Amino acid sequence: MEVKLLDGKKIVVVDGENGHDIALKISESLAKASLAYKLNGVLKDLYSSIKEDGDFELITSKSEEAFALLNHSCAHLMAEAIQSIYPDALFDIGPSIVDGFYYDIDFKNIVVKEEDLTKIEAKMKEFSKKNEYIVRKDVSKKEALEIFKDNPYKMDLINNLPGDEIISTYKQGNYIDLCRGPHLPSTGFIKFFKLDTIAGAYWKGDSKNKQLTRIYGVATFTKEELDHIELVKAEAKKRDHRKLGKELGLFMLSEFGPGMPFWLPKGYALRRALEDWWLNMHRNNNYLVIETPVLLSRKLWETSGHWEHYHDDMFTTEIEKEDYAIKPMNCPGAILVYKNDLHSYKELPLRYAELGHVHRKEASGALNGLFRVRTFTQDDAHILLAEDQIGDEINRILKLYDQIYSVFGLDYSIELSTRPESNYIGDIKVWDKAERDLQEACLATGHKFKINPGDGAFYGPKLDFKLKDCMGRVWQCGTIQLDMQLPGRFDCTYVDKDGQKVCPVMIHRACFGSLERFIGIITENFAGAFPTWLAPIQVKVLPVNNDAHGDYAKLIADKFTQKGLRVEIDDSNEKLGYRMRNALVMKVPYTIVLGDKEKEGNLVTYRKYGTEKQITVSIDEFLTLIGSEIESKALLVDHDQLLK
């Protein structure tokens, strides 16, 4: 056998040799730094034997995969420490996640608090210093059931695995876990870590099941990286959209509608400003705005394929002995709009935009503020077009996305999600062509992308847009999904230039993903200090003395309101300094103070959020200033300074 390195060099592999052996053939220093290896794109344990020819890559701490590898192994290290301290604890799952890892644990009758994390960390450091090998052992299903016979959570996982497939376990010291792997070679690589929070998590995300204890943590390869992550996490807590949403009066959640946000007056003002801008952007880009019903017949969802592939996530009801579903997606409704008329090739592409209200049956344990809800508004568009128009149309969409995201100061990266391994509809050849079309469109417009294998929608591949906020956090938002299945299922056609009926292609696309999630993201990105065009209250008016200046304050507020500004007067009996601080706490872009000088000269004195300077100008000058800022969608202040 032989393997090919990234530089094209080939190395002969003797039977039984592993990744570490190949690393040694390259250099001893590389062997010491190696954590795992990839063969033909598949990540493997460093000491696992090489059993086929192929492309070979060693994974070090600098590799993209290293963070997840480290954190997955750290989850096992934490479990080993917990088992040592709490011998009766039972473990469920412990994956790596985007920003670290967690483990769900049944401590039985013991209540573990955040102050106990220090004790667990100390034991983890003890085991790390032992540098125990992390050893994989493959066993039969029968053997696995015997190994984990005292752990009902692992038994359930094993019993739900298909057939009699070989099951992998990993052992370090006295701790053994059920796991697909791969892992680091030994615990000695895990030196810098922090356990930071404890939360409750229902087993399998179902509130009917027992609540387990979920411990979150993070591991890094250097102390500097860990310090930076802890700093970011501390800042993230200040920016938590649930905290800011309550403080700023944006939205509320109620036990009477879990996962269904209530928009309060200030939050609705922000949301409406976002919606109006979205609508104008789409009308200016030749989209036709539509609205489709929330409740539609089961027959429609059977035709679309959602009833078969998405039924468990849909809310359903019965009306006059016929099944209906609250829509989880807007696409079938848009198709019905298309089918309402006959169409010619001259009309294509036909772009239907919709702020569609959808519902999905999310597990209660997964609900999270505005980030994970059961009801939300998708900023959808469904584009019907000819096959030879795909490249140009995706080019147009990418330009629109560039324009929209730049308004919020958000950078993005693109992932191409390909055909799922199962539970998809359509012919593989059609899927392959659709995936090529998306790749070629990205390359033609100079947009780099990463392949995300198997994560496409059940009806077609997609481009997912990962937004990076001012703190470097990455959020999944926009999507472009190429669908060469659904129009055919609904018998959609257009008449081509030869007079023949042809089935169009459909592009599903959403820029924000959902208004709720996007508002949550920008709330944290701006730390609640929204740009003036979006701010719930754009101007706070403070009369120095209510008796002497109250009428002038009302006159100013009325004039500004007539100009379309969102204005609030604070004429409470509190001292002026207190009211100014309150406007600062509420992150109002402009605070105006009105006293004798202002009243007598038809002036206003304003202070912009994030600055200390107070400036006096005429009323018209101020209106020109704020109007220009709103028109340009200017960012308010440097994001990084918002909470300092």
The catalytic residues are: 331, 360, 378, 380, 382, 462, 508
Other Cβ atoms less than 10 A from the Cβ of 629: the count is 19
Rg (the chain; Cα; Å): 29
**H or E segment at 331?**
helix 331-339
Assess whether the previous peptide bond of 420 is cis (omega < 30° from 0).
Answer: no
- Show the 3-state SS of 228-249: HHHHHHHHHHHHCHHHHHHHCC
C-alpha to C-alpha distance for 144 and 165, rounded to whole angstroms = 11
Taking each helix axis from N to C end, the angle separating 117-130 and 66-85, rounded to the nearest 10 degrees, works out to 110
Burial class (CB in 10 A: 0-12, 13-18, 19+), 338: buried
455 contacts: CB under 8 Å, gap ≥ 6: 415, 417, 418, 420, 464
SS3 38: strand
Cβ–Cβ < 8 Å for 358, 330: yes
C-alpha to C-alpha distance for 543 and 598, rounded to whole angstroms = 10
Taking each helix axis from N to C end, the angle separating 546-562 and 619-632, rounded to the nearest 10 degrees, works out to 40
Q: String of b and e for 394-428 (b: at least 16 CB within 10 Å)?
A: bebbbebbeebbebbebebebbbbbbbeeebbbee
**CA angle at residue 629 from 625 to 630, to 5 degrees?**
115
Phi, psi dihedrals of residue 531, rounded to the nearest 5°: -55, 155
Count CA within 13 A, CB hemisphere, residue 546: 8
Query: What are the strands, taking DSSP E only, across 367-446?
Result: 375-385, 411-417
Other Cβ atoms less than 10 A from the Cβ of 122: the count is 11
